[in-house]
Chains A and B, each alone.
Chain A
Amino acid sequence: MKTIIETQDLTRIFRTYKKREGLKGSVIGLFKREYTEKKAAYDLNFKIEEGEIVAFLGPNGAGKTTTLKMLSGLLHPSGGDAQVLGYRPWKREYAFLKQVSLVMGQRNQLWWDLPAIESFNLQRDIYEVPNEAYRKRLDELVELLDLSKILNTAVRKLSLGERMKCEMVAALLHRPKVLLLDEPTIGLDVVMQKKIRNFIKDYNREHGATILLTSHYMEDVAALAKRALVINFGRPVYEGSLEALTEKYAPNKLLVVSFMRTVESAELASIGQVISNESGVIRIQVPRATVAERASVLFNRFPVADLSIEEPQLDDIIHDLFTDTSHNQGEKIIETAQPRDQLAGIA
Chain B
Amino acid sequence: MLVNKKIEPLTPWRWRFVFRRYWTLCKVAFQERMEYRWNVLFYAMLALLPVMVGIYLWTTIFNNRNDPQAVKYITTYYLVAGFLGWRIAQYQWTIMFEIREGRMATGLLRPMSYPAKTFWFEVGGRTWSTIITIPVFVLAAIFLGENFRTPENGWIWLLVLLSFMLAYVLNFFITASLGLLTVWQNQPEGFFALYGFGSGALGGTMVPLALMPGGIGDILQWLPFAYIYSLPARIFLGISAEQLAQGLAVQVVWLVIAALFFKWMWQKAIKGFEVYEG
Contacts and interface: CB of A to CB of B under 8 A. Distances in A.
Interface residues of B, number: 6
Contacts of A30: 34, 37
Contacts of B31: 22-23, 26
12 contacts: A22-B31, A23-B27, A23-B30, A23-B31, A26-B31, A26-B34, A26-B35, A27-B34, A29-B34, A29-B35, A30-B34, A30-B37
A100 to B, nearest CB: 32
A29 B34 CA distance: 9
Given A23-B27, A23-B31, A30-B37, 9 more contacts: A22-B31, A23-B30, A26-B31, A26-B34, A26-B35, A27-B34, A29-B34, A29-B35, A30-B34
Nearest to B186: A113
Contacts of B35: 26, 29
Interface of A: 22-23, 26-27, 29-30
A23 B23 CA distance: 13
B76 to A, nearest CB: 33
A339 B30 CA distance: 30
Nearest to A156: B186
Contacts of B34: 26-27, 29-30
Nearest to B37: A30
Contacts of A26: 31, 34-35
Interface in B16-33: 27, 30-31
Nearest to B34: A26
Contacts of A22: 31
B36 to A, nearest CB: 11
A22 B24 CA distance: 11
Contacts of B37: 30
A29 B27 CA distance: 16
Classify the secondary structure of B's interface with A.
helix
Contacts of B27: 23
Nearest to A22: B31
B124 to A, nearest CB: 11
Interface of B: 27, 30-31, 34-35, 37
A136 to B, nearest CB: 37
Contacts of A29: 34-35
B57 to A, nearest CB: 38
A20 to B, nearest CB: 11
Nearest to B28: A23
A151 B95 CA distance: 34
A22 B27 CA distance: 9
Nearest to A113: B186
Nearest to A27: B34
Q: Which of A22, A26, A29, A30 has the most CB of B within 10 A?
A: A26
A23 B127 CA distance: 14
A113 to B, nearest CB: 9
Q: Which of B27, B30, B31, B37 has the most CB of A within 10 A?
A: B31
A30 B131 CA distance: 15
A268 to B, nearest CB: 51
Nearest to B32: A26
A23 B30 CA distance: 9
A26 B35 CA distance: 8
Nearest to B128: A26
A26 B37 CA distance: 10
Contacts of A23: 27, 30-31
Closest 8 CB pairs between A and B? A26-B31, A26-B34, A23-B31, A23-B27, A30-B37, A30-B34, A23-B30, A27-B34
A22 B28 CA distance: 8
A295 B37 CA distance: 71
A27 B30 CA distance: 11
Nearest to A21: B31
Q: Which of B27, B30, B34 has the most CB of A within 10 A?
A: B34
Nearest to B33: A26
A48 to B, nearest CB: 39
A29 B37 CA distance: 10
A30 B40 CA distance: 13
A160 to B, nearest CB: 16
A89 B244 CA distance: 69
A30 B37 CA distance: 7
Nearest to B27: A23
Contacts of A27: 34
